[in-house]
Amino acid sequence: MEKRKRLFIYLLFAAQLGLSTPQVLRIGGIFETRESELVSMDELAFKFAVNNINRNKTLMPNTTLTYDIQRINLFDGFEASRRVCDQLALGVVAVFGPSHSSSVSAVQSICNALEVPHIQTRWKHPSVDNKDTFFINLFPEYTAIARAILDVVTFFKWRKLTVVYEDSTGLMRMQELIKAPAKLNLKIKIRQLTPGNQDARPLLKELKKDKEFFIIFDCSYHMAAELLKQLSSMGMMTEYYHFFFTTLDLFALDLEPYRYSGVNMTGFRLLNIDDPWVTSTMDKWAMERLQGPKQESGLMDGVMTTDAALMYDAVFMVAVASQRATQMTVSSLQCHRHKPWRFGPRFMNLFKEAQWDGLTGHIVLNKTDGLRRDFDLDIISLKEDGTARGITEGGSRLTKRWIKIAVWNSYRGMNLMDSNRDKNNNVTDSLANRTLIVTTILENPYVMHKKSDKELVGNDRFEGYCLDLLKELSNILGFTYEVRLVVDGKYGAQNDKGEWNGMVRELIDHVADLAVAPLTITYVREKVIDFSKPFMTLGISILYRKPNGTNPGVFSFLNPLSPDIWMYVLLACTGVSCVLFVIARFTPYEWYNPHPCNPSSTLVQNNFTLLNSFWFGVGALMRQGSELMPKALSTRIVGGIWWFFTLIIISSYTANLAAFLTVERMDAPIDSADDLAKQTRIEYGAVRDGSTMTFFKKSKISTYEKMWAFMSSRKNTALVKNNREGITRVLTTDYAMLMESTSIEYISQRNCNLTQIGGLIDSKGYGVGTPIGSPYRDKVTIAILQLQEEGKLHMMKEKWWRGNGCPEEDNKEANALGVENIGGIFIVLAAGLVLSVFVAIGEFIYKARRNADIEECVSFRAVMEELGISLQCYKGIRRRSRPHSGARSACIFCQPKRTAKREAVRRDSST
């Protein structure tokens, strides 16, 4: 019993001693070498990872990791098969490499047969039958990469782009993007680089000619480095181009020559350089590489590529899986015997279940196919200023050239960084120390030649509102500028062939960076160039000669009321007088006894005869009254209403009388655009190839269509070259100019013979033009909004628009009334006096005839006697005249029939 107990203790001690004995774990690596490099980058990363694992005893405390490395030539599948069999005969737990597809397939078939894990770190097209059960690939799954590319295009809101790929595998990575046009309204051009030829300049020249500003390059980092050099030589490294490289090694390229070009360059990055451990590991790698032979050109010195990082992580994944594998032995395998490794499936499962936070982020493998489907990609952009904010000085050099704008996850999609979601950076970040070409056009008061006794050069040659605006923008954004006048002197319009001219053309061709001028924001221009927010709002109006003023006429006192109102007042007076006469006759309270001393008299009298009723109405209308006063309630109601009516009429008349007696009336032949459209005597037009002409050309309103038909039929005379020519025509001929209201305001302030006719035909704004997709547009907009809030835009307009003013408009004192103003009153007075004389004569003759009604005729002597008595009587009382008899020869009015009639009446009455 005691012997058994001692034997058990001995076996237990031997087992513990055996477990504590260091084990050796071998992995195999097959690497392809190129003529340009002695040792491949994958092999260097492979050795670097093994050395770090062996130094770090916490990961594999009782195990030493060794390796067997075999080098083969490119495209040599037979050699790869022979070398992998040699490694399996030595006994390896996993095989790494090679990278080329033909060699990979040969090695993979052998590993599948012998059930040894085959680990890849390069992109490989998956097998159709999915029989590669012992295949593991740490490179991100290709369909996820395709979705990431599509999400980036959607994020940047590209609507037109060009895809340039290097080989057929690029089309597979672009499959999601190629299928997208039907869903996202994308226009995609697909071009291939010439196989075996690194000179892509003919293709780049064609892309530049076609104005393809958004280009996706799918190529290796070797080709990307060559493309960047050729893009720079072609003059395409500008802020108007946006290049997106699908290679995961864009961050590793030496981009120092392009850092200050302003080019937009975006790419993916798999390395998680924000992790301090990753940064430390990459720095150690860089120190070792700088001590060795110089790497190939195009990469920064000592930088670790994505393939090297994936190889490093793959070796560490083997170490993590081996740590969990207990009592696993590695046996020698023979390719010709087809006897698999009995621990192969178990180790494969442990490998798929392992997780590791490596250089390329968190590594999780799909347990079904061994692919890496869950991963993060940093979307990086080349920094414009070349400095890093928020990065410690001890950080990697890589952070000084790139900025992470978003993180893309294969399951969650795009996630913007907080620094890009809420940008608080100064708007001068990308415009500081840059010189921009500014195109403009001579137009008062926006851009004018500065008057000086000395010869002026450069920007000092010009002055005006736009120059002040440009100076303020320069102060805010920090850029310098060079002002150039547009070559053809036009704003920019599209001809029948779809070609543009003027400043718009220069922006399209990238001859200029900005167009600071009275350039109207229109729909057709917005399709080919970009505009900032408007710095001035305005509309189209009509410029015409100020009509000659007409002084008030002698009968201008009638003008306060229209002829219709005068007629209605006359009818109202007549109607009220008639109503008053009828009511006064009808009511019994208007009849009275003419002899109050004789109450028994049966005679009654009514003062409101027809003539008296008219006299009452006229007296009330003239505000003079009369001796006749209504007695009955009904007649008093009529009188009161009439007095109220006359009160309003006279008050309204008096209120308007002063204006009509003193103000000159401006009789303009046109008052609006409708008046222009209805006539052909006054010619009208606009600036040729300007926004005003385009407005009428594109308008669907009948009035404006009619006006455009008139202008287009007389293009040689109706359309002018510029505003100066149009103003001259307005002053010298019968011509109306259609132009912007701000220009009319400026012109009318300096020329009192011109004025604006009517209101605004439309509403529009002036904006700063930029080439489409320009990075300056948003920054200029922010600066304009800042100037608007500070009130500087208003102050600049007051500075350049305020003129001396017109003298007659400034004189607001009241003028004395002359004969030409109120002479009509004297004419009416004289006419009334003359009329009264003739009426008096008529009354006198009529009365004289009544007094001589017995006589057959009225003698001249009797008339003269009656007139003499009237003129000599100083008192208000005289004796009634008696009839006189005279000779018939002295009669001047003979009425024999009337006399006979009167005598017959007398005889009848006496009888």
Summarize pLDDT for 308-323 with one digit per residue, the tens: 999 999 999 999 888 8
Output the six-digit token pair for 238: 């500008």
- C-alpha torsion sign, points 744, 747, 750, 755: negative
Looking at per-residue confidence, does 875 or 543 come out higher?
543
8 A C-beta contact, residue 269 and residue 244: no
For 723, the enclosing helix (H) or strand (E) is helix 723-732
Q: Which residues pair with 32 in a beta bridge?
A: 72
Q: Identify the burial level of 528 via C-beta atoms within 10 angstroms of its C-beta, where 0-12 means exposed, 13-18 middle and 19 or more buried.
A: middle
pTM summary value: 0.65
Residue 698 confidence class, pLDDT cut points 50, 70, 90: confident
Report the alpha-carbon distance of residue 15 to residue 3 in Å, rounded: 18
The number of C-alpha atoms within 13 Å of 765 and in the hemisphere containing its C-beta is 11
680 vs 190, higher pLDDT: 190
Short-list 580, 611, 590, 535, CA closest to 767: 535
Q: Would you list the DSSP string of 303-316? A: PPPHHHHHHHHHHH
CA distance 457 to 478: 22
pLDDT at position 532 is 92
Q: Which helix (H) or strand (E) segment is 25 a member of?
A: strand 23-32
Distance CA 458, CA 435 (A): 13
E strands in 658-809: 665-666, 683-685, 735-740, 754-757, 764-766, 769-771
Distance of CA 31 to the CA centre of its chain: 57
Place of tokens 């006299």: 615
At residue 387, the pLDDT reads: 35
Contacts of 531 (CB under 8 A, 6+ apart): 519, 521, 525, 767, 768, 769, 770, 777
- Element of type H or E holding 244: strand 242-245
- The two structure tokens encoding residue 173: 């990575």
Q: What is the pLDDT of residue 386?
A: 39
Is residue 819's pLDDT more than 60? no
- Better pLDDT: 183 or 878: 183
797/793 Cα distance (integer angstroms):
6
**Length of the chain in terms of residues written:** 911
Query: Averaged over 191-218, what is the pLDDT?
Result: 90
- At 761-787, the pLDDT tens digits run 888 899 999 998 788 898 999 999 999
Report which of residues 430 and 358 the model is more confident about: 358
CA proximity to 380, closest of 362, 359, 401: 401
pLDDT above 80 for 814 = no
Q: Is the pLDDT of residue 605 over 90?
A: no
Indicate if the pLDDT at residue 405 is higher than 70: yes
pLDDT at 268: 93
pLDDT at 5: 44
Residues 78-102 pLDDT 10s: 899 999 999 999 999 999 988 877 7
Listed range (509-523, 677-691, 709-723, 803-817) with the worst mean pLDDT: 803-817
Rounded CA gap, 731 and 748, in Å? 12
Lowest mean pLDDT among 130-139, 621-630, 882-891: 882-891
- The pLDDT tens digits of the residues spanning 822-865 come to 555 556 656 755 675 677 677 667 766 776 654 555 556 665 66
Asked if pLDDT for residue 307 goes beyond 70, the answer is yes
Q: What are the backbone dihedrals phi and psi of residue 113, each rounded to the nearest 5 degrees, phi first?
A: -70, -40
**Is pLDDT of 14 > 70?**
no
As a whole number of angstroms, the distance between CA 337 and CA 61 comes to: 35
Note the pLDDT of residue 602.
73
Confidence of residue 810 (pLDDT cuts 50, 70, 90): very low
CA distance 727 to 140: 69
- pLDDT, mean over the chain: 80
What are the two backbone dihedrals, phi and then psi, of residue 622, each rounded to the nearest 5 degrees? -85, 5
What is the CB neighbour count within 10 angstroms for residue 760? 13
Q: What angle do CA 181, 184, 186 make, to 5 degrees?
A: 45
3-state class (DSSP) for residue 413:
strand
Q: Is the pLDDT of residue 153 over 80?
A: yes
pLDDT score for 549: 59
| Closest residue by Cα to residue 604 from 612, 615, 596, 613 | 596
Tokens 């597979």 map to which residue? 172
DSSP state of 129: S
Give the highest mean pLDDT range of 399-413, 511-525, 620-634, 815-829. 511-525
pLDDT value at 399 more than 90: no
Q: Taking 50 as the threshold, does the pLDDT of residue 899 lie above it?
A: no
> Looking at residue 384, what is its pLDDT?
58
Instruction: Give which of 844, 869, 848, 865 is closest to 857, Cα–Cα.
Output: 848
Residue 734 one-letter amino acid: D
Helix (H) or strand (E) holding 543: strand 540-545
In sequence order, the 6+-apart residues with CB closer than 8 A to the CB of 652 are 560, 561
> Where is pLDDT greater, at 739 or 910?
739
Give the separation between CA 161 and CA 312, rounded to whole angstroms.
Answer: 36
Residue bearing tokens 């080439």: 771
Per-residue pLDDT of 649-694, as tens digits, reads: 888 888 877 666 666 555 667 888 888 888 888 889 898 888 888 8
CA–CA dist 872, 116 (Å, integer):
157
Sign of torsion, CA 669 673 677 681? positive
Q: State how beta strands 371-372 and 135-140 pair.
A: parallel
- For the packed helices 276-291 and 41-55, what is the interaxial angle rounded to 10 degrees? 120
For residue range 455-504, list pLDDT tens digits in order.
Answer: 888 889 999 999 999 999 999 988 899 999 999 888 988 888 888 999 99
pLDDT score for 648? 84
Q: Are 740 and 520 in contact (CB under 8 A)?
A: yes
pLDDT of residue 903: 46
pLDDT of residue 206: 92
* Phi-psi domain of 570 (left: phi exceeds 0; alpha: psi -120 through 50; beta: other): alpha
What pLDDT, on a 0 to 100 scale, did the predictor assign at position 316?
92
Q: In the structure encoding, which two tokens stand for residue 206, read together?
A: 């064609």
Which two three-digit tokens encode residue 130?
Answer: 């999915």
- Look at residues 166, 376, 177, 167 and name the one whose alpha carbon lies nearest to residue 268: 376
For tokens 């008639």, the residue is 578
* 122 closest CA partner among 186, 68, 169, 174: 169
Tokens in use for 582?
């009828």
Residue of 373, 360, 398, 378 lying closest to 49 (CA atoms): 360
pLDDT of residue 670: 80
Q: What is the pLDDT of residue 789?
A: 92
In this predicted structure, the answer to whether residue 408 has a pLDDT above a threshold of 90 is: yes
Residue of 430, 491, 429 whose CA lies nearest to 466: 491
Q: Are the C-beta atoms of 866 and 834 separated by less than 8 Å?
A: no
Is the pLDDT at 396 greater than 70? The verdict is no
Does residue 870 register a pLDDT over 70? Answer: no
pLDDT, mean of residues 563-586: 84
pLDDT reading at 625 higher than 80: no
Name which of 471, 453, 474 is nearest 463 in CA terms: 471
The CA–CA distances, whole Å, from 350 to 131, 208, 372 equal: 19, 53, 15
Residues 117, 338: contact at Cβ < 8 Å? no
Q: In which band, very low, low, confident or very high, does the pLDDT at 897 lie, cut at 50, 70 and 90?
A: very low
Q: What is the DSSP code string of 186-241? A: -EEEEEEPPTT----HHHHHHHHHTT--EEEEE--HHHHHHHHHHHHHTT--STT-
pLDDT at 309: 94
Coil vs helix vs strand at 301: coil
Which is nearest to 21 in space by CA: 53, 56, 67, 64? 64
Angle between helices 741-750 and 792-801 (to 10 degrees): 40
Structural contact between residues 259 and 235, judged by C-beta atoms closer than 8 angstroms: no
Give me the pLDDT at residue 588, please. Answer: 77
